Structures are given as C-alpha cells and as structure tokens.
Chain A
Amino acid sequence: MATKLKVVHYVNQFFAGIGGEDKADVPPSHRAGPVGPGLGLAKAFGADAEIVGTLICGDNWFVEHEAQAVATLLEMADGYGADVLVAGPAFSSGRYGTACGTLAVAWEQRGKPAVAAMNVNNPGVELFRERLLIVQTGPTAAAMAAALPTLAALALKRGRKLEVGPAADEGYFPRGVRRLVRLEESGAERATEMLLAKLAGKPYRTEMPIEGFGTVPPPPPVPDLSTALVALVTESGLVPHGNPDRLETWNASKWFKYPIAARADLERGQYEAWHGGCDTAGTNDDPDRAVPLDAARILEKERIIGRLYDWYYVTTGNMANIKTMARLGAEIAADLRQQGIQAVILTAT
C-alpha cells in the first residue's frame, strides 16, 4: 500500500471560523490537523491522505501584505513537511481566490504540487489557471460537498505524481495545454462522427476548442457626429519612417500614438507599415491607404465629423496573443476616454 500522503490546507479567516469581513485583517496563523472545510476534505481523502496542518490568513491581510503573507505561510507550512498544498475552495470570493492562487503558485515554485478550487467568476481563475490546477466549483459554499471529492482526487493524483487527465474529465479549468494522444479511430472517422452528430442536433465534443473572444456590448451611436471629436486607430503597424519606437511586426506588446495635427495627409516616405503578416508595399506607397487621414480631413471640412483628434493610435495585429491584444485595446480605450474622444474610425488589415 502506498504511504499516506501529507496535505497542508489553506483557508481564509471565514472558513477557519475566526470571523467574517470584520476579521479579514487577521495575520497568518496555522493549526495542526484539518479545520472547517478541511474536515470534509479529510473525509474525502479517506485513508489515502492526511491533512497534517491548516494555514490561515485574513483576506485583507493577504492582499495588503502579499509578499510577507506568502513567505510567512510557506514557512509555517515547512513545519508540517507536507507533500501537497490544497487551497480553498474559494468559490466566488475574489480576494480569497487570489490569495489561494498566489500561495499555490509560490508553493509549486518550490517543487511540490498544489491544487486550488474556485468558481468560474472568481478573478483568480483567469489570473492563475494557466499555471495552476484549479478545480471548478459552484458559486457559493453551498457547493462545498460537490467540490471536495474532486479536489481530493486531484490532490491525490498530484501528490502521487500520477498522470492528470484532461480538464473536462478531472474537473479543473482548462490550462490551454494540448497533449498528443493515440486513438483507435482516425481523425477522418472522428470528424465524420462529430459532423453527423452536429447535423442531427446531438451533442458532440470538439477536440480542439478555440479560445473565446468574449463579447463587448455595442456602445450607443454618437449623438451628433458633426460636432464629435473623432480618432483614427489602426492595427496596420503604420509608424513614422524608421519605426522610431520599435513597434513589433508581429506578436505586438505595445501601442503608440503619433501626431497628425499639422498634416493634411500621411506622405509617402514619412510613414511606413511594419506589419509582418501582409504585403506593405501598397501602404508604403501611400500611407493614407491604411490610415485615411486625407479622407478624414475631407469629412472634417464637410462637417460630417466635428474634429479629428490630433494623434492617431497604432499597434500591429499580426500573430498576436489575444490577452495582450485585449490589454492594448483597453489601454488605447482608456486614453481615448481621457482625451474626450467620442467616436473611432479603426482600420484593420
């Protein structure tokens, strides 16, 4: 029989029974054996594992003294000689989930496995799921009983260094990892089966889920375009000649804005496209083909738009990381907002 696995369990002040929001500033502490949800977790482990100690910290104290909290809690954990750290379940509690993720990642960096548990709406999921196994739970502690067996099973697997199956089978959030497996049926056969199921309206499961882009609620129309401040934005990689700020030609991590106040158009030789994903010769021949300053000036004269903002915004949309692009978009939007811009003309290659 395998030796009994030693588990150390992290919970916040609430689940440790210290108190609610009024006790969220309690500093790190620890107790031998299981506490609160640890009792249920211990039951789920049965004879396979033992919760040797419980680490506790107030949610506010953790987020306000993060480095100190991690160092102190890891030092406390050392006293128990545990093989695995289990953090949570944190359900939908954002500070608790962030604390669980931060501590678990720090623990794993020291070479031992950790498992956390949260609800899909916990911000800790997006922060940590690529680096950490996070069991999916319901939104509140009412889902505790359902979460603990999954959490225990995954902690056991990690602790015993057994292979962990796909996210959907094991109940954790997908980490974006693709693994090669050998199957009996060929890809053509599996694809045909999927297609037939889809056509028949039956359930099927894709083997290659595509990352979602989320949805943005459509902003209302601009009330009066003829008085509005309008900005030009582009992902065509159009920058001043020589690319002075070194915008990337692909996988961009930066955006810039360049002045156009004194210009009627973007002249050939003064601007060029640094975009590694398409032929830039036509744009370089007349940069207004990518950023239509000359046409926008006509609309300004015709009073179709109120005024063109004095700078244009640029990044490169080519072989890019979706998360990075979302960050660039948010940063550009924040700047547009700050400048009082009311509408945007965005050109994309």
Chain B
Amino acid sequence: MGIPVVLITALISIAERVGANRIFKTEGRFHHPLGDPTLGREAELRWRADLVRAAARMLTQPVDKPTVKDLAALTERA
C-alpha cells in the first residue's frame, strides 16, 4: 500500500491534471505556497501552522480520486 501524501500548492489545476490524490489549496502564493510576507513574522507563522494543520488532516481522510480541499473545508468548527 502506498504512503499517503498531501500536496500543498496554489496551482490546483496542474495538481489535478497530474493526478495527485490529496491536494490542499493553499492561501499562500504559488512561488512560496506557505508564505505571506504581508502578515509579519509571528502572524505569518500562526497562519502557516493553521494551513499545515489543515493540510495534515487530509492524510487521515480516505479519498478515491484527486480531491481538493482548502482551509475552510478542513478547519474544525467550534
């Protein structure tokens, strides 16, 4: 059995076309998928951890074909 991979990228159409199975649509830019220089260091790290935490959740979810999710879809609501 294969190792589950979550692909974090801003280029969703390419990720789907090449057949990646777990695709996380990041809010970062395509040239640095987990960066937003406008936030300031501390806020940026919190934001980045939120994104990676959400993306990691896809590793625990079954998929049967290339599947795209984003932060809103993967964040637990209180």
Contacts and interface: CB of A to CB of B under 8 A. Distances in A.
Interface of A: 213-222, 225, 228, 230, 233, 236, 278-280, 282-283, 285-286, 288-290, 292, 294-296, 298-299, 302, 304-305, 333, 336-337, 341-349
A296 B52 CA distance: 7
B78 interface: no
Contact of B35 (A286, A305, A343): A286
B9 A347 contact: yes
Nearest to A213: B18
Nearest to A349: B31
B49 A278 contact: no
B32 A348 contact: no
B17 to A, nearest CB: 7
A348 B15 contact: yes
Nearest to A344: B5
B3 A218 contact: no
Contacts of A292: 8, 34, 48, 51-52
A299 B59 contact: no
Contacts of A347: 7-9, 33-34
Contacts of B44: 286
A288 B52 CA distance: 12
Interface of B: 1-9, 11, 15, 17-19, 21-22, 28-35, 37, 41, 44-45, 48-49, 51-53, 55-56, 59-65
6 contacts: A225-B56, A295-B51, A299-B49, A343-B4, A344-B6, A347-B7
A233 B53 CA distance: 16
Contact of A346 (B5, B32, B61, B63): B5
Nearest to A218: B21
Given A216-B19, A222-B59, A346 B6 contact: yes
Contacts of A283: 31-32, 35
Nearest to A224: B60
Given A283-B31, A299-B49, A221 B19 contact: no
A296 B8 CA distance: 13
A299 to B, nearest CB: 6
Nearest to A233: B5
Contacts of B30: 278, 349
Given A216-B19, A220-B62, A294-B45, A282 B37 contact: yes
A282 B7 CA distance: 20
Contacts of A286: 35, 37, 41, 44
Given A292-B52, A305-B56, A282 B32 contact: yes
B3 A299 contact: no
A219 B19 contact: no
A291 to B, nearest CB: 8
Contacts of A228: 59
Nearest to B26: A347
Contacts of B41: 286
B33 A349 contact: yes
B19 A215 contact: yes
B19 to A, nearest CB: 5
B3 A343 contact: yes
B48 to A, nearest CB: 4
B62 A295 contact: no
Contacts of B31: 278-280, 282-283, 349
A302 B53 CA distance: 10
Contacts of B6: 343-346
A282 B21 contact: no
A324 to B, nearest CB: 14
B9 A349 contact: yes
Contacts of B63: 218
Contacts of B64: 218
Contacts of A294: 45, 48-49
